[in-house]
Amino acid sequence: MAIDEIADSIADDTGGKLEFLSLDLANLKSVRDAANEFLAKGLPLHILVNNAGLAGSRGQTDDGFELAFGVNHLGPFLFTSLLLDLLKTSAPARIVNVASRAHYDAKELRFDRLQQKTTSFTGMPEYRCSKLANVLFSAELARRLSDTEVNCYSLHPGVVASDIWHRVPLPFRGLMKLFMITVEEGAQTSIYCATSDKCQDESGLYYDSCRTKTPSKAGQDTALAAELWRRSEEWVSETTRTDERQ
């Protein structure tokens, strides 16, 4: 089904109006182009949901970063940064970063491995690290926005039977999905963080099943969060300069 047909189908189901914005999180130039295209519309922005969840894939992004880290963290980091001034002027606003409970299994971030191809066979250790980055990014962003009316949230959506598992062979994929929740159920915590009055005065916290939950020890490391921010900012700035020279 074509993108326009999908958008029309969603609009018919919800009664809303949709516009498709092309965005390739594995290509930071595409991220900049998408942000600029949205900014050019002159619209306010009250809710931004970063819902990248690439898992089980191996390789590098177009800009040379480990694939899961680049798609799940660095692309959303840049996209959010480019829209941050608009979010502030549109406040009250919320930024929702969809992480995963898989971040509990990532004990550290090996910065020396983030600018090379995926080293594991399954790609899952890298996925876990990218989800830890989501939690750290959200918490650090909340600290930096503490004097604004922009709140930040990270969350575990549940293990969802979505197309994220399309690389798993069919017999195993079907069996796995029997034990997963539906995409509708998986959206509930994201919707809660984006819209609920119950968390409108909260920021920088981690959620699971529409409730706050303590993230991993690494996910609470403020020094690690600050270092991730510094390096992410440096990396996206370097790719910006490269794009400008081309």
Q: What is the pTM of this model?
A: 0.91
Q: From edge to edge, which strands make up the β-sheet containing 211-212?
A: 47-50, 93-98, 150-156, 205-208, 211-212
- pLDDT tens digit sequence for 169-215: 566 656 666 666 677 787 899 999 999 999 999 999 999 999 999 99
**In the annotation, is 206 catalytic?**
no
- pLDDT tens digit sequence for 69-112: 999 999 999 999 999 999 999 999 999 999 999 999 998 999 99
pLDDT, residue 177, reads 60
Mean predicted lDDT score pLDDT of the chain: 90
User: Which stretches of 99-180 are DSSP H helices?
Assistant: 124-144, 170-177
Three-class SS state of 155: strand
Pairing of strands 205-208, 150-156: parallel
| Residue 97, C-beta contacts closer than 8 angstroms, at least 6 positions apart | 50, 76, 134, 135, 137, 138, 152, 153, 154, 155
DSSP 110: -
CA distances from 35 to 77, 80, 141, 142, 201 (A): 12, 9, 18, 21, 27
Domains present along the chain, CATH in parentheses: 44-245 (3.40.50.720)
Catalytic residue among 104, 127, 192, 206: 127
Return d(Cα 105, Cα 162) in angstroms, integer.
22
pLDDT, residue 170, reads 65
